Amino acid sequence: MHRVMVVGASGLLGQHMMSAGTEMGLAMNGTYNTVNDEMSGMVRMDITDADSVSQGLEAACPELVVLCAAMTNVDQCEREPDAAYKVNMEGSFNVASECRSAGIKMVYISTDYVFNGLKGGRYHEFEPADPLSVYARSKLEGERVTLDADRNNLVCRVSVVYGWNRLNRKSNFVSWTVDSLRRGQEIRLYDDQFVSPTYAPAAARDILELSLGKLKGICHTSGPDCLSRYDIGTTVAEVFGLDASLIRAVSTAEMPLLAKRPARSCLGVDLAESELGRPMTSLRQGLEMMRDSE
């Protein structure tokens, strides 16, 4: 399996997947959707349009398709549920259906937010999902249509993906924290929402390696840590040599958001580590690599 198409290659994880695949000697094809994300050599694909999906896959003839494209703004999904389901469920269905018809393995990138966060510990692949928001429910439906389409398909769940965005100005939690602290701006971070931060370049390679093997079903491919947003922020400040006193710990009750978020959605990565034969990339390791590659 050498021909890989990344649907949503202009996003953070997608762009790093293109780079990782090229380094691995794979023939990579990528898609974008909006004009602002247009990239040389990429194919435009609107996953909500079945014809667009069909034409894109027919032109590229991939042996593996990784679906990174999604509507990921959690509060926007809450405000626009129809749009969220159109992209995250119907779009996934279109890709999964075309892959099934063409005999192509599909990998769907999902989220830790499919869990309600009430367990108090890490979530493993076999545990039941209980999404709290429109975003999470629409992503869970995307998982369902992917796995229903072909038993050999793979769902990879990540959490708070971070890294340098080389293609556009869209920030992520870590890059926003770095930029804010460099400006001397005080930031408020939750000390009661725990996640498993995922370094995009490392996750991209991990997911490709797992996808090229025989793994199927669901696999958690996040970082191995379970940290609060505040803990992540202070670690960012330490690694980048920034002023941690600008970070103020707040509770989610102090800064209510439109959509509900799980309080502790940390992922267990035992399966991925076993399959890869190595530990997943920790936050500190990822931040050091990010710092050194700026």
Over the chain (294 residues), what is each successive 10-residue block's mean pLDDT? 91 96 95 71 91 94 96 96 98 98 97 97 97 98 98 97 92 97 97 98 98 95 98 98 97 90 97 98 98 96
pLDDT at 111: 98
Global pTM reads 0.96
Segment holding 52, helix H or strand E:
helix 50-60
52, 27 Cβ separation under 8 angstroms:
no
Rounded CA-CA distance 232/242 in Å is 13
- Domain positions in the chain: 3-163+197-224+267-281
Segment holding 85, helix H or strand E:
helix 81-85
pLDDT at 256: 80
Instruction: Output the six-digit token pair for 122.
Output: 């890490």
The per-residue pLDDT of the chain, averaged, comes to 95
CATH of domain 3-163+197-224+267-281: 3.40.50.720
Half-sphere exposure of 247 (CA within 13 A, CB side): 25
Report the candidate in 33, 28, 81, 73 with the shortest Cα–Cα distance to residue 53: 33
Segment holding 248, helix H or strand E:
strand 247-250
Percent of the chain with pLDDT over 90: 90
